[in-house]
Amino acid sequence: MLAVIAGSSGLQRAQVAFGLALLPVGLSQPPTGSARDPLDLSAPFLQGLGFGTFDALHLASAEQGQADVFLTTDDELLRRAARYRNELHVRVQNPVSWYREVAL
């Protein structure tokens, strides 16, 4: 499965914020020196790693949907995802890099 996230409107942001408020509370800070529990797929955990609210929700949704790859052109998100790749349960890539990998 492939997860692709694009920009969002004001209404979508409000809906996401409401949905995020309904998620179970995860860890507020990343654990020190230990791998993340595979069952903890919550957006609050990802926010504790420094991902923004919407990025955390998008990543948590991709993880819960068992996406193979999450495509984004957001350079900051790509850098943070690379830094925490061992904590994430979905591969995060730039669409062009991903296309080169699968098409060539």
Q: Which residue has the higher pLDDT, 7 or 60?
A: 60
14-56 confidence digits (pLDDT tens): 555 555 455 554 434 444 444 555 445 578 889 999 999 889 9
Residue 85 pLDDT level (bands cut at 50, 70, 90): very high
Q: Residue 28 — φ and ψ, nearest 5°?
A: -85, -25
90, 70 contact by CB (below 8 A): yes
Report the relative pairing of strands 2-4 and 69-71 from DSSP bridges: parallel
Residues with Cβ within 8 Å of residue 64, at least 6 apart in sequence: 41
Instruction: Give me the mean pLDDT over the 58-86 stretch.
Output: 93
Nearest-angstrom CA–CA distance, 85 and 23: 22
Q: Is the pTM of this model over 0.75?
A: no
Asked whether the predicted pLDDT for residue 65 surpasses 80, the reply is yes
Q: Where are the beta strands (DSSP E) in 1-104?
A: 2-4, 69-71, 91-93
